[in-house]
Amino acid sequence: MMPRELPLRAVAARVILAVEQGESLNQCLPVEAHTLEPDLRPQLQALCYGTCRWFHRLDDELTSRLRKPLRKQDRIVHHLMLVALFQLRFSENPSYAVLNETVEACKALGKTPLAGLVNGLLRAAEREGAPAPTSDEARYSHPGWMIEKLRHNWPEHWQGILGANNAQAPMTLRINRMHGSRDEYLDRLREAGIPGRATEFADLGIQLDRPVPVDLLPGFAHGHVSVQDEAAQLCTQWLKPGPEQRILDACAAPGGKTCAILEAIDNQGEVLAIDESADRLPRIQENLERLQLSARLIEADAADVDQWWDGQPFDAILLDVPCSATGVIRRHPDIKLLRRETDITPLATIQIGLLSALWQTLRPGGRLVYATCSVFPQENSRIIRRFLGQQTDARLLDEPVAWGMDTGHGRQLLPNPESHDGFFYACLKKGGPEERQ
C-alpha cells in the first residue's frame, strides 16, 4: 500500500510517468500538486517542466548508467532518477540533499529494494559529471523525428529552433487598451517594482524581465491586463476586426485571442466563439468575465457547419486550428514526449477540413486569418497552398508587417529566445463579385 502523502520528488516522478503515458502536464500536474502543501507546488512545477524539457538528454545519461533497464513495474523509479539528474545537472540544489531526498522518495514509493541502486547511480553521476551526449536526441534534448523534420524543413534555422525550445520563455502581457495605454501600464508596473519593456511587434504587448504571479500585476483581477505571448497577440493585425462586424473565432478556447479581438473593438462587435471541448469552453467565459467582455459561446465541431451556423455570413473569421504546437515547446515541454511523427498528417487533414468548411461562412470581401503555433510547413504554408489550389474565390493577402518570414503562403515566426513564440499566420480574402471578373 502506498502512503497517502508522498514527498515532492516522488510526486514529480508520478507526473513524469503520467506524461510518458500520454497525459499533458496541464492535465496531470494540478491533480498531483494537490497532494502537496501549497508552498511545495511551485517546486513541483519547476521539477516537472525542467525534467520534460531535458528528458531526452537525461534519459540518455540514465540509460547509459543503468546496466539493464528497470522492470516495467519499477518504471516510476526510472523517472525518479530522471528528476534527480535534472536537479544535479540544471539546478542549484546541493547534491547531498538531492541524493538523500531521492533515496527517501524511492522508499516512500514502496521501492525500498531499489534504494541502493538509486543511491549508487546518483553518487556516480555526481562524481563523474554529465557525460558527452551520445546522440542528437541527447545533444538537443528533442525526439529524433522532430530534429530530423526541423532539419529538413528549416536547413538554416533548425538548431536555432531547437535552442529556443530549450530556453525558458519570457512572461508577456497584453494590456487592455480599454483601461489605458501601454505607456501608462508600463508606469504602473514600474511603480509596482515589476520591470518590463514594450514588445517589438505587438502594439499592446509588454515583456517582463522576470515572470511574476499574476496577482501581483496591477489591475489584473479587474481586467486591465492579460498574459499572452507576443506572437499570439498579432492575430488582430491581419484580422482587422471592426466594431460593426460579425466575427467568428472558430477554435477559441481558452479565449486569449477572442478577448484580444473584443478589446480591439471596444467590446462592440458581434463575436461568436466556438470550441469543441466542453472542458475548455468555460475557460473562455472566465477570461471574458475578468476582462468584462462579451461574446456568444457555442460548444461544437466548427467544421460541422450545419450544426451551429444560422446562415448569416461573417465579416471576419479567426481560425486558430488545433496543431502540433511545435512553436510553443518552450512553454509546454511535455510536447516533446507527447507528440508523435504520425500525428502531423492527421492534424493537417483536420486543418484543411476546418478551413474548407468555414470558408462558406465568410461573406464575399471578408477576411479569414488562419493561425497555428506550429513550425511545420505541413500544417502551415502547405495547407494554404493546397487550399488556394482548390478554392477559386480565395486570395492570399500579404499586407506589410514587420514580423515573421514570408513563406510565399503566409508568414512564419520561429520561436525567439529573446521574445516571441513560434507561430504562423496567413490572411485570406474572399473574392467579391467585382474581383471575379
Residues in contact with 299: Cβ distance below 8 Å, sequence separation at least 6, in sequence order: 274, 275, 276, 277, 278, 281
The string of DSSP letters for 58-83 reads HHHHHHHHSSSPPPGGGHHHHHHHHH
Instruction: Please indicate if the annotation marks 406 as binding a ligand.
Output: no
**Any idea what the Cα angle at residue 347 is, between residues 344 and 348, rounded to 5°?**
90
**CB of 61 or CB of 320, closer to ligand SAM:** 320
Contact 157, 376 (CB under 8 A): no
Residue closest to ligand SAM (Cβ): 251
Distance, in Å, from the CA atom of 285 to the CA atom of 233, rounded to the nearest integer, reads: 19
Residue 111 beta carbon to ligand SAM: minimum distance, rounded to whole angstroms: 38
Distance, in Å, from the CA atom of 244 to the CA atom of 385, rounded to the nearest integer, reads: 31
Instruction: Please indicate if the annotation marks 254 as binding a ligand.
Output: yes
| Dihedral of alpha carbons 345, 349, 354, 359, sign | positive
Tell me 38's DSSP state.
G
Instruction: Please indicate if the annotation marks 253 as binding a ligand.
Output: yes
Distance, in Å, from the CA atom of 427 to the CA atom of 395, rounded to the nearest integer, reads: 9
Name the β-bridge partners of 370: 319, 426
Contact 75, 17 (CB under 8 A): yes
Instruction: Please indicate if the annotation marks 430 as binding a ligand.
Output: no
**CB of 313 or CB of 353, closer to ligand SAM:** 353
**CB of 105 or CB of 234, closer to ligand SAM:** 234
Instruction: Please indicate if the annotation marks 275 as binding a ligand.
Output: yes
Residue 325 beta carbon to ligand SAM: minimum distance, rounded to whole angstroms: 7
Residue 299 beta carbon to ligand SAM: minimum distance, rounded to whole angstroms: 9
Q: In this structure, what C-alpha cell is assigned to residue 402?
A: 514587420
Contact 338, 22 (CB under 8 A): yes
Residue 221 beta carbon to ligand SAM: minimum distance, rounded to whole angstroms: 20
Would you name the residues annotated as active-site residues? 373
**CB of 189 or CB of 321, closer to ligand SAM:** 321
Please report which helix (H) or strand (E) contains residue 1, including its range: none
Instruction: Please indicate if the annotation marks 252 as binding a ligand.
Output: yes
Instruction: Please indicate if the annotation marks 30 as binding a ligand.
Output: no
Distance, in Å, from the CA atom of 7 to the CA atom of 30, rounded to the nearest integer, reads: 16
**CB of 70 or CB of 227, closer to ligand SAM:** 227
The string of DSSP letters for 88-132 reads HHH--S-HHHHHHHHHHHHHHTT-GGGHHHHHHHHHHHHHH-PPP
Sites of contact with ligand SAM (CB under 6 A): 232, 251-257, 274-277, 280, 301-303, 320, 322, 354
Residue 196 beta carbon to ligand SAM: minimum distance, rounded to whole angstroms: 21
* Residue type, position 203, single letter: D
**CB of 320 or CB of 379, closer to ligand SAM:** 320
Cα 169 → chain centroid: 10
Residue 354 beta carbon to ligand SAM: minimum distance, rounded to whole angstroms: 6
Known binding-site residues for S-adenosyl-L-methionine equal 251-257, 275, 301, 320
